[in-house]
Amino acid sequence: MNRDKNLPLTETVYYILLSLLEPAHGYMIMQKVEEVSDGQVRLAAGTLYGAIENLLKLKYIQPVSTRDKRRKVYQITSKGREILQMDLQRMEHMVNVTKQALSKT
């Protein structure tokens, strides 16, 4: 089976998609990503903005309308959920085979 050409997701993209399961604006994404990655992934504003633009182009996320006129709020799309799920399965497989291999030796 041919794998989606956007897989594997980068750590940055993975965490952004994960944090957009609920709607959030840019700065909230930065905070969420830092929190769920235990402070391992700290996104800078310019890098995040570029990633958001990319994900919008790929239709993995979409803007949602809110009352805040100065901050765009985004949310994951069904296509985005799908790719997140696929990357999760990919990593689960890696984790499983690695655990098995390590326990045998």
Partner 1 sequence: MKRFKLFRSYQAEEKWLSEQAETGWRLVKKGLFYTFRKHSPQRLVYSVDYRTFKTRADYNSYLSLFSDAGWTHTAGSIRSGEQYFTAPPQQGEELSIFSDKESSHSRYTKKAWHSLLKALLIFVFMILSSMSNSLYDISILVQPSRAFLTPGIWEKTGGAFWQAFFFELPFASLRIGLYVLLIGYVLLFAFYAAWALICEKLDKGIDNKQLH
Binding site for partner 1 (CB under 8 A): 12, 25-27, 30, 42-51, 69-72
Nearer to partner 1, 45 or 89 (CB): 45
At 28, phi and psi to the nearest 5?
A: -65, -35
Least distance in angstroms from the C-beta of 43 to partner 1: 5
Nearer to partner 1, 49 or 93 (CB): 49
**Strands 61-64 and 24-25, sheet pairing:** unpaired
| DSSP classification of residue 105 | -
Least distance in angstroms from the C-beta of 46 to partner 1: 3
The C-alpha angle with vertex 51 and arms to 1 and 75, in degrees rounded to 5, equals 80
Nearer to partner 1, 21 or 45 (CB): 45
Cβ atoms of 16 and 83 closer than 8 Å: no
**11: which residues sit within 8 A by CB, 6+ positions away?**
37, 41
Nearer to partner 1, 43 or 76 (CB): 43
Least distance in angstroms from the C-beta of 47 to partner 1: 4
Least distance in angstroms from the C-beta of 27 to partner 1: 4
